[in-house]
Structure formats: C-alpha cells, structure tokens
Amino acid sequence: MTTSKKLLRALAGETLDTPPIWMMRQAGRYLPEYRATRAQAGDFLKLCYNPELAAEVTLQPIRRYGFDAAILFADILLLPQALGADLWFVTGEGPRLSIISDQSGVDALGSVDNIHETLNPIYETVRILRKELPEETTLIGFAGAPWTVATYMIAGRGTPDQAPAHAMRVGAPEAFDALMERITLGTIEYLSKQIDAGAEVVKIFDSWAGSLKGEAFDKYAIEPTRQIIAALKVRHPNTPIIAFPREGGDKYIGFAKATGADCVALDNSVDAAWAAQHVQVDGCVQGNLASRHMVTGGQDLIDDTRAIVKAFSKGPHIFNLGHGITPDADPENVQLMIDTVRNG
C-alpha cells in the first residue's frame, strides 16, 4: 500500500520516526465547540443522526489539533437501536435500553437486513467526512464488539461488573449465544457499510472485555471479533482493522493473531514496555497514555508520554490514550501531549 497517511502506514506495519496520533472520544464534551454544536442539535441522539452536525463535531478536534485521524462521531448503541431495541439517554446518567433477558427478547429483535434504514444517516456522515477531511487525515469508522454491546442490551444500561450479562450467558446460554450471533452479524453489515461510504479504517471497541475470564474471554471476546474481521477482510481486504479488548491483561498476548486484527489497542493498565515485548511483536499497537493526564497535565504527562513513545519506538505504533478522554479534560493538556509526541 502506497500512502502518505501516517496512520495507514503504521497499520501496514511501518515503524515511523514519530507515531501518528489521535484520541478516543476526541470529539466530545471537553471541547467548548462540541458543547455548542450539541446544544444546537438538541440532544445526543439527534446529534448522532444529523449527518451535517455529526460531521462538524468529528472535524472540530482535527481543526483544533491536527490529529492524524478522525473517528466518526456516533455511538456503539446505535446498532442495537437499528436492531429494534428502544434507546434513550438520561442526562447525567448515560444510555438506557429496553432489556433483553431471554429468547423471546432476542426473537423480538428485527432482522439484520433491515438495520441500514436506521443507520443511513451514519453512512452519510462518513461520506461528508471523506470530502471535508484534510488529505493527510485518516477516517476511522467503528462499532462496539458483540460482548460489550450485549452487556448494555441485557442490563438496559451500563453496569459496573456486567453482572446481568454474565448471569444470562451462564443461566440461559442458548438465548445469550443467539443474541451474540445477531449482534455479530449486524456489526459485520454495519462496518461494511461504513467502509463502503468511505471509512479507511474500522475499530472494534470491546470496552468490557476485561470482565470475561479464561475460556469465556476466548469464546465471547476473541471469537466474535475473529468472525467480524474475517467477514470484513473478504469484502474489504485492504481495510485495516483495530481491535480494543480493554483490560484484556495477559489476553492481549496473541490477540492480533487469534482475531486477524491489524492493530491491537491497549488500555493503560498494562505497561508499555511489557506490551512492546509481548504484544507489539505481532504487529501494530495503539495506546496507551492514562486519560487522567488530560486533566492533570504537567511534567507527569510529558514524562509518561515520552516513556510510551520510547517503549514502542522499535515497531509500528499509534499513539493514543488508554481509554476515552473525559469531559473534565483541559484542552491545553491535549496540545501538550501532541507537542510532546511530535517534538520529543
């Protein structure tokens, strides 16, 4: 692949003098321009489904900081909504969904073939972004991994330990597996359409992978991700895929080979030097500065940023946070991080 885009070069396995950089949740509430656009939209879901405004908030951190990639502004719970789940957001508390607890709940979901009617505005956002992004900026599409999406659909909300989903996978395994299959097939179609619309990379977010242990991790984190990547590679063989099994710990080792991912994103609970030795040996890694540095700043931010860049300097690396930037972050600390990565 011949390209001048730094992110695509890293994903192709190239070791660069300076790693490309972007941030998870880089379009978000820490930016005053985002808050203004969200107010204009009326609420979060209206913002997600308004292609012009969703493209605008995706572009805002690119204009401000010049990141090497823009990630589509959307939400991992739009797919469950497209499958027929009720979805709404409670101010200050986050998402709520209708609850699925048994086979009848799975059976009540709509067909995977019908998701695009709901999700067409998301694909239009992608098309707008491909026209408006700077030539050097890579466009990333994304979806939630099936396990993480299932935890919300089963509990009806985010939970600290994903206990309702664990209870269903143990107590009603056939219904749970049927739900996972429906989400997996929907995710393949959703990401494929994002790529058709112009996404150059896609990322699979498994935010709650860390609560799966042992064989459960293999079955419900690795296997669905492998299925999604395998299907996408048949349709889009040249599109790189990033996988993020957050808090996977030792399960990060071999994850790229087991799933076919072109890059493994790392959370900040693992040490960069350890990850360079055990994970980066299989290809590109992404990460993994602690998000708290975007709040606290200072010399600690500079020191930890330099240490991560150095640890991963002998292989392909995309600099990022270990999780999403938080609403209380200081935009000036984001600039300090970027300057440190690019200027040493």
Is position 246 within any domain?
yes
- Burial bucket for residue 33 (CB in 10 Å: 0-12, 13-18, 19+): middle
The beta strands (E) that lie in the chain are given as: 69-71, 87-90, 94-97, 138-144, 201-206, 241-245, 263-265, 284-289, 317-321
Would the pLDDT of 303 be above 80? Answer: yes
9 is catalytic: no
Res. 157 pLDDT band, cuts 50 70 90: very high
Res. 76 pLDDT band, cuts 50 70 90: very high
Cα 42–Cα 142–Cα 230 angle in degrees, nearest 5: 155
Is position 339 within any domain?
yes
Query: Tell me, what's the pLDDT at 220?
Result: 98
CB 57 within 8 A of CB 37: yes
How far is 136 from 5, CA to CA, in rounded Å?
A: 5
- Helices first, then strands: H and E counts in the chain: 17, 9
How far is 245 from 236, CA to CA, in rounded Å?
A: 22
Selecting among 30, 49, 65, 152, the annotated active-site residue is: 152
CA end-to-end span of the chain, whole Å?
A: 28
Res. 331 pLDDT band, cuts 50 70 90: very high
Show contacts of 305-309: CB within 8 Å, 24+ apart: 305/337, 305/340, 305/341, 306/340, 306/344, 307/272, 308/272, 309/19, 309/340, 309/341
The residue whose two tokens read 């049927």 is 178
Average pLDDT estimate for 108-134: 98
Selecting among 29, 35, 96, 226, the annotated active-site residue is: 29
Selecting among 35, 38, 127, 130, the annotated active-site residue is: 38
Is position 10 within any domain?
yes
| Domain CATH number, residue 64 | 3.20.20.210
Average pLDDT estimate for 94-105: 96
Would the pLDDT of 236 be above 60? Answer: yes
Average pLDDT estimate for 55-73: 98
Residues with Cβ within 8 Å of residue 107, at least 6 apart in sequence:
none
Residue-wise pLDDT tens digits, 304-314: 999 999 999 99
Res. 3 pLDDT band, cuts 50 70 90: confident
Is position 80 within any domain?
yes
Mean pLDDT of the chain: 97
342 is catalytic: no
Query: Tell me, what's the pLDDT at 2?
Result: 62
Is position 1 within any domain?
no
Residues with Cβ within 8 Å of residue 262, at least 6 apart in sequence:
11, 12, 240, 241, 242, 256, 283, 284
Average pLDDT estimate for 27-41: 97
Domain count, the chain: 1
Selecting among 68, 75, 267, 282, the annotated active-site residue is: 75
Would the pLDDT of 1 be above 60? Answer: no
The residue whose two tokens read 């790529």 is 195
Selecting among 25, 182, 246, 292, the annotated active-site residue is: 25
Cα 147–Cα 229–Cα 193 angle in degrees, nearest 5: 95
75 is catalytic: yes
130 is catalytic: no
Q: Chain centroid to CA 76: how far?
A: 8
**Coil, helix or strand at residue 216:** helix
pTM for this entry: 0.98
Is position 22 within any domain?
yes
250 is catalytic: no
How far is 268 from 256, CA to CA, in rounded Å?
A: 18
Q: Which domain holds residue 166?
A: 6-343
